[in-house]
Structure 1
């Protein structure tokens, strides 16, 4: 699905206001937006939409996309799709090494400091909820205030999209990409070889040069592709379960943005309109209210509120 790009001027993070009664009192924490969701749900798309509406930079929290290489397999966002938005921790780690949650916490902290030093908004986005949890459930909350956006899609609809996406990845050259990376004795328990789309092709590559039967090769290849689809759908379910645990058991306050209708209208203007109305605009309104931290105040008998973000907000959203 294509990324929608806002034409708005990107506002500054800090709005000077002589009437301090309109602002909440207390020590100010640095603010961070976190975009979560199952694989394929549209997290990257939303992060780019937000980053083109606000002065923002993106920190990748996908544990496979941090590695160099296998851009198709790991479904890295392309240079064109980034729309000029700076990305951090994307394709920077040696693919043979192990990158742990502790590694992510350390590197993400450095990126956060760098982004905030430029007066930009950090947007953390990715499907590896264990990385996000490792970062946030530390001393992080004592220094940062977080706004969690959850892009959700009904699983039967997402399953269909994931299947189609794998087919498109194959068309873009996924098999050749993995073949070039393949090692007969490769360790699928570490590094980028853990990525869905790598171990599934092992059997196919082993018999590819030994089997003269085109029909057999085609069957084994089709089985590998079906396994990738099945494993990706299973990953999406595990990610969704983790999000529910973080929200319902750990008490994380999340803003759910239902993108199901977007996926049902895939392609054309109807999809773009559905995305803007159900995901992009509500998400931007949530972030606006979060960043500017405003609420009504009585000043000389007059109720004062600032900005246009509040009328755009659905009443169900709160941070």
Structure 2
């Protein structure tokens, strides 16, 4: 006896229809795209830790990136050696903002001033599809922008990179840096800036470490009856005090960063740069390479969408979006 079996057309249909799930995921992605904030990188660290170097390294790897200075002394024109501004060669073609923008050496550039000018720079960079990288030692400026500027918080998402160097090592490095700055012409720079009629070092760029410390020496140097032995001792004392004050500043900055770390911990990554102080080749492995990996994840990981296995990719997805199956 012959038995015939007729397959129902319903049996040939897929058991699971992926389209609703895919549609739901794409709708979620569309909502995320609408709510997504623009991204900003913030590089923190004590003076002399390598913030500017890292900022430039990262900017060259994630073009078009531009750097916004957040050092309250580097916003003033002049005293480039004393305030340790990056040179044109060190910039490696990366655009910098808020460097040498204040003409009046007595003007107190405030946190509000920084928030205003930094916001304009960030808006401009983002408007050109660039990545803003904020770098500098004035953590009070960064705190004012990130914690207290409601417009900034509403529009931008931050990734914080903390370049950290063990304080004893950093103090030794800062002492050597002062010697290099003196050799590079810092004394002549401060001498040209010095004004015998002014003794107030509480305003403007005159607050910069390496300016008030030389006051007594420069006054003695200008005296017709100055004693050479006394001048030498005053110069040595000024250099020594400059080193001490740099170390004190570094310690205060680390304390401030530790406090901010408790607030921004979720989005803050500590990069240990201690070894690179002695071993320059360690910089790329310990600091720059890790920083690049962190930024790669911060900038691009949310460009992925999870879709069901076997489901067709929607032609509306941007080319940069990866499909991950499970």
The answer on whether the counterparts of 1:23 and 1:295 sit within 8 Å (CA) in structure 2 is: no
Give the match for residue 177 of structure 2. Answer: 165
1-side partners of 2:264 and 2:127: how far apart?
31
Q: Deviations over 1:73-105 (max 9, x none)?
A: 000000000000000000111222110000000
In 1, distance between residues paired with 2:255 and 2:72? 18
Taking the TM superposition and a 5 Å limit, the aligned residue runs for 1:69-108 are 69-94=78-103, 95-108=105-118
Whole-angstrom distance in 1 between the partners of 2:294 and 2:29:
17
Q: Could you tell me which residue of structure 1 aligns to residue 123 of structure 2?
A: 113
Deviations 1:187-221 (A, max 9, x none): 21111000000000000011113254322211110
Structure 1 or 2, whichever has the larger Rg, is: 2
Q: State the alpha-carbon separation in 1 of the partners of residues 272 and 31 from structure 2.
A: 33
1:37 and 2:45 correspond: yes
Report the CA distance shift for 1:250/1:49 in structure 2 as closer, same or farther (over 3 A). closer
The answer as to whether partners of 1:23 and 1:294 remain within 8 angstroms in 2 is: no
Contact 1:116 1:122 in 2 (8 A): yes
Helix, strand or coil for the counterpart of 1:98?
A: coil
Matched-pair contact (CA < 8 Å) for 2:220–2:226: no
Partner of 1:259: 273
Larger CA deviation: 19-28 vs 84-93: 19-28
List gaps (5 residues or longer) in structure 2: 1-24, 311-319
Deviation of 1:275 after TM superposition, in Å, equals 0.6
Which residue, out of 142, 147, 169, partners 2:159? 147
| Cα pair distance change 1:299/1:162, threshold 3 Å | same
1:316 matched to which residue of 2?
none
Stretch deviating more after TM superposition (174-183 or 134-143)? 134-143
Structure 1 gaps of 5+ residues are 1-18, 266-270, 309-319
The count of aligned residue pairs is 282
Q: CA RMSD in A?
A: 2.3
CA–CA distance in 1 between the matches of 2:244 and 2:189?
20
Counterpart in the other structure of 2:19: none
Helix, strand or coil at the partner of 2:133:
strand
C-alpha distance in 2 between matches for 1:282 and 1:21 = 34
1:245 lines up with 2:259 in the alignment = yes
Q: Which has the higher helix share?
A: 2
Task: Using structure 1 for the length normalisation, give the TM-score.
Answer: 0.83
Mapped contact 2:303–2:321 kept (Cα < 8 A): no
Q: Conserved in 2, the CA contact under 8 Å of 1:22 and 1:296?
A: no
Tell me the alpha carbon deviations over residues 104-136 of structure 1, each in whole angstroms, 9 at most, x when there is no partner.
000111111111111100000000000001111
CA distance in 1, matches of 2:226, 2:137: 40
